[in-house]
Structure 1
Amino acid sequence: MINFNGVILDSDFQLSVNNRSFLYGDGVFETLKIVDNTILFFEDHYFRLMASMRIVRMEIPLSFTLEFLESQILSLVNQLAIENSARVRITVYRNEGGYYAPNQNSVSYVVQAAPLSDKTYTIEKSNFEVDLYKDFAVTKQLLSTLKTTNKMVHVTASIFAKENQLESCLLVNDSKNVIEAISGNLFMLMGNTLITPPISEGCLNGIMRKQIITLAKQFETIDFVEREISPFDIQKADELFITNVIQGIQPITKYRKKEFEIKLALQLLEKLNAGLNLE
């Protein structure tokens, strides 16, 4: 089942071939984690979604309040009886009409949901090898920081990773700096300094990124900075990990011939679960 514009429908419901998200990538989305009928970090997701819609000049319906969208999401997971632990995606797209220039800026939305096996955040894979993906670069611009339905760099990088028996890839921007992984933001520990690229580098303005930054600043022995990361920095790092709302934290264990520790990631994961009362 899905929620299409407030109506629960069978999941075999098909959108029009003139759908603008299909034709032009004219859509934005949020991926959410539900635990015990609660949407984690929902205010952050909501305000990012509203900001994304404004940036791409979509018309925001008056009904799109935080409470309304929360009810639309939870109604679906309750209908599916997966409210204890679920992954949800809400996609908002501009209604059909026009070519590159739309005939209108009104929107529709689709909510999809699937069960998750764990409420808590855990490290899913003990061995997680990555490499650099250099075929295409992410541009340093505001659109790159949004979750839009145009993710061809991430799609082709995922295929590259699969072809080379990698768990993921690190993406670079047009200045050849490392900015993120395929499915999350990147953090790098060098000595006592935890580093993540600033949003100005073109990385996703991640919700879990924000949570991890807040948690990292609570460590008296860790200095946190936002700065550029070069491919040469990766070789010198003590620890690397990826963050996103569904997985939480995924440590990188190997990059080419370099292997990494898994210490700070475990400490942050413990704090994350404790702060959300997920332990």
Structure 2
Amino acid sequence: MLLYNNQFLPVQDLKLPIHNRAFQYNDGFFETVMVVDGNLRFWRDHQARMREAAEALQLAIPDCFWSGELEENLLYLARQHNSFKIGRLKLKVWRSGGGLYTPQTNEIEWLATAEPTQAIPEAGLTIGICQGVRTCYSSLSHFKGPHAPLYVLAGIEKRNKGFDDMLLLDAQGHLAELISSNLFWLNDKGDLYTPALETGCVNGILRRNILRWSQQQGIAVREVLAKPEELLQAEAVFAANVTGIRGIEYLDENSLKVNSEWLQSFKNGLVLSVG
């Protein structure tokens, strides 16, 4: 079962036309939403990012996205896929109608799917610096979808080189993000750093929550332009997305400080704050 334009359908009944603008022009965006213990985790932040994406792409989002109706239907979908305890929902939104580059409408179509998932592994990551592609800041870079081929190519490089993930840089060589996670590091004064949005990184949902929670806790948080060498001096380096937080143990052949005790304490505090 899937949810298409707020209607539940068997998978085999989904029929999309060849002029579908998601297929033709990647004219839309998507959100990955975690279901945890029967709740859509960070749902208000997902709604906020969808508003931002819709404004950037000039899409008219229906009222059901902002009422409790969509939330209720997504949870029902998760339950049908054994994803109510812990699961992953993908919500894909695209512009309706045909046309060439100039669209015929700003109305949308949308599709939601659900699948069960597992808790994020505890093991630290071994990552490499991506050589094939660079991030680029634009009005579209802060949400998911328009720049997807960049992350696909980074994923191919990851697979070919045998890394767990790849560290993407911007055109000037500044730290930006990982393939599907934001990057954070801690200095010896207890200050937290993350790449600025000007690097072209996605404005991730957990990134927003980490920045908000850290400021509430009195932890200095700095959004910066920084080079990879700074990670070698950090007290802890970690990746963060809606599935959770993972420490980074190696960058190419360089060992990074893990600081497992601090990272676990940080994760525990964040989890308690968001439920």
Output one character per residue of 1:207-266: Cα deviation in whole Å (capped at 9) or x when no partner.
10011123333556x5321111212223333321111012x1011110023212333322
The number of residues matched between the two structures is 271
Q: Which moved more, 1:109-118 or 1:263-272?
A: 263-272
Counterparts of 1:250 and 1:142, CA distance in 2: 28
Do the aligned residues in 2 keep the contact of 1:129 with 1:252 (CA within 8 Å)? yes
Aligned to 2:47: 46
Aligned to 1:84: 85
Aligned to 1:130: 127
Output one character per residue of 1:42-85: Cα deviation in whole Å (capped at 9) or x when no partner.
11111110221111011222443231221231121123342121
Describe how 1:1-279 pairs up with structure 2 within 5 A.
Answer: 1-12=1-12, 13-118=14-119, 122=120, 124-192=121-189, 193-217=191-215, 222-246=219-243, 248-263=244-259, 264-277=262-275
TM-score normalised by structure 2 residue count: 0.91
Q: The residue matched to 1:142 in structure 2 has which SS?
A: coil
Counterparts of 2:147 and 2:252, CA distance in 1: 29
Counterparts of 2:95 and 2:66, CA distance in 1: 18
Counterparts of 1:85 and 1:29, CA distance in 2: 20
Output one character per residue of 1:115-136: Cα deviation in whole Å (capped at 9) or x when no partner.
1234xxx5x1514111111322
Do the aligned residues in 1 keep the contact of 2:238 with 2:246 (CA within 8 Å)? yes
Q: Which moved more, 1:232-241 or 1:97-106?
A: 232-241
- C-alpha distance 66-206 of structure 1, shift in aligned 2 (>3 A): farther
Do the aligned residues in 1 keep the contact of 2:140 with 2:146 (CA within 8 Å)? no
Letter in 1 for 2:252: R
Counterparts of 1:212 and 1:256, CA distance in 2: 26
Do the aligned residues in 2 keep the contact of 1:212 with 1:268 (CA within 8 Å)? no
Q: The residue matched to 1:253 in structure 2 has which SS?
A: strand
Do the aligned residues in 2 keep the contact of 1:215 with 1:268 (CA within 8 Å)? no
- C-alpha distance 148-66 of structure 1, shift in aligned 2 (>3 A): farther
Do the aligned residues in 2 keep the contact of 1:21 with 1:149 (CA within 8 Å)? no
Q: Which moved more, 1:204-213 or 1:190-199?
A: 190-199
- C-alpha distance 151-166 of structure 1, shift in aligned 2 (>3 A): same
Counterparts of 1:256 and 1:82, CA distance in 2: 36
Do the aligned residues in 2 keep the contact of 1:96 with 1:102 (CA within 8 Å)? yes
Letter in 1 for 2:7: V
Do the aligned residues in 2 keep the contact of 1:29 with 1:149 (CA within 8 Å)? no
Do the aligned residues in 1 keep the contact of 2:234 with 2:257 (CA within 8 Å)? no
Counterparts of 1:43 and 1:7, CA distance in 2: 22
Which runs of 5 or more residues in structure 2 are unaligned? none
TM-score normalised by structure 1 residue count: 0.90
Q: The residue matched to 1:46 in structure 2 has which SS?
A: helix
Counterparts of 2:151 and 2:127, CA distance in 1: 14
Do the aligned residues in 2 keep the contact of 1:43 with 1:66 (CA within 8 Å)? no
Output one character per residue of 1:88-137: Cα deviation in whole Å (capped at 9) or x when no partner.
1111100130111111111011011111234xxx5x15141111113221
- C-alpha distance 129-102 of structure 1, shift in aligned 2 (>3 A): same
Cα distance, 1:153 vs structure 2: 0.9
Counterparts of 2:228 and 2:36, CA distance in 1: 37
Q: The residue matched to 1:86 in structure 2 has which SS?
A: strand
Output one character per residue of 1:136-188: Cα deviation in whole Å (capped at 9) or x when no partner.
21112221111125411110001100100100001111222111100111001
Letter in 2 for 1:70: E
Counterparts of 1:186 and 1:35, CA distance in 2: 23
Counterparts of 2:124 and 2:194, CA distance in 1: 22
